[in-house]
Amino acid sequence: MTTDWSRALMHIDGDAFFASVYQAIHPSTKGKPLVIGRERGIATAISYEAKAYGVKRGMLMHEIKKLCPQCIIASSDYRLYEMFSQKMMDIIRSYTPYVERYSIDEAFADITDLKNTMCMDYSSIGKHIKKTIEISLGISVSVGIAPTKSLAKIGSSYQKPSGCITINDINKDIFLKNTKIENVWGIGWRTAPKMKTLGLESAYDFVHEQEKIITKLFNKPIVEIWHELQGNQIYQLNTAKKITYQSISKTHTVTPATMDKNILFVRLMEYIEDAFTKARRYDYQVGRMSIFLKTQQFRYYATEIRLPEKTQYPFLIRKDVRKGFDKIYHQHTLYRASGCTLYDLEKTTESQPMLFHATADIEEKLKHLYPLFEENKIKFGISLFDKRRDMRRKKFLFPTIKLDS
């Protein structure tokens, strides 16, 4: 079957993204075995240098040290990963507006029109964008270019790290033959064994099976993958940014784990502020919230807080949060994480004004105050930590603006 080259899609995938970001920020660790996940006690991300020693995701730290005593162990920093992700997406969008952010370290982009505007073939375009990302951010990415998402994913995975593969009619079978059926995007661990019993060991075997047999034996998603691997585009790019939410969650690991009540509460308030910042960005008011603490033994303590009035500003509900926190906090217990989820989200344009709004005056002041908070010009008691002094408590910082009427 002839591949349909009416569209050219590129898949960009960060190589060992979390570890690569850490190495970009800490150049002295480049080329060295590195594992992310100290705060969890297990490997959550691994550099290619660590993989060479046999280190795998999910390994305990003491197991990693036995395999690779010189391995660098670092903690996760999701805010940093998000920042690098956004910068990577910005670079891709500087070439084409047709970009789908698939995950924090992956994106699809339609580069069809760039062939004329950049006067390059698709392979050269991919290498050019890849080089720009790597030089700008100091991380490694792999690129796959093909007429469909499924083929582009095969291309980006084929020559990691830092590969750039273009799949076309001439070379397509080579890549399909060298791709195990379980490694095809969208074919899960339950489906792959069934395919293998039918003799479909590779993507090539799958593609060259008759369509009527595939249709008879498998469901629609598998049939769609079959068409994608033939070179016929089924999956379209979803370039729209998400603008509606049923809930908003923020959570993070506390490093190191602590039983200090003040540290835990201030960290929790920081995550709540982050969640409400996102809610305000999408013009939501919040009516209900849950908070949780996770112990070092991975036990969760949670409670729900129903807000007396829907609001966009955590400053107004700090007493309610404190009551909820006091319910779930237990003395002499070591905690490793905390977080919150916001529910009952309602657009401010859709909400009905209350007849007697007790906090109306304060809320009006907060409308002017919170933009300063988002620009880091003021703080609401979240600057509790001084890393240079081993997490000792500092004086709380509060805005000098008087809010209480």
Residue among 59, 153, 162, 53 nearest 108 (CA)? 153
Burial label for 238, CB within 10 Å (0-12, 13-18, 19+), is: exposed
| Among candidate residues 241, 206, 212, 250, the one with its CA nearest the CA of residue 226 | 206
Cα angle 22, 23, 25 (rounded to 5 degrees) comes to 65
Q: What are phi and psi of 386, to 5 degrees?
A: -125, 95
Quote the tokens at residue 47.
Answer: 């550099």
User: Which uninterrupted H or E stretch holds 361?
Assistant: helix 360-374
Indicate the DSSP class of residue 352: P
Catalytic residue among 39, 49, 100, 106: 106
Determine the Cα–Cα distance for residues 204 and 207; give it in Å rounded to an integer.
5
Please answer whether residues 277 and 286 qualify as being in contact, where contact means their C-beta atoms are separated by less than 8 angstroms.
Answer: no
Number of neighbours of residue 197 by Cβ within 10 angstroms = 7
The CA–CA distances, whole Å, from 261 to 189, 265, 322 equal: 43, 6, 11
Q: Which residue has the tokens 């003491």?
A: 62
- Rounded Cα distance between 296 and 300, Å, is 10
Catalytic site includes residue 106:
yes
Does residue 23 contact residue 62 with C-beta atoms inside 8 Å? no
User: How distant, in Å, are the alpha carbons of 23, 52, 212, 337 from that of 73?
Assistant: 12, 16, 52, 19
Give the active site residues. Answer: 106
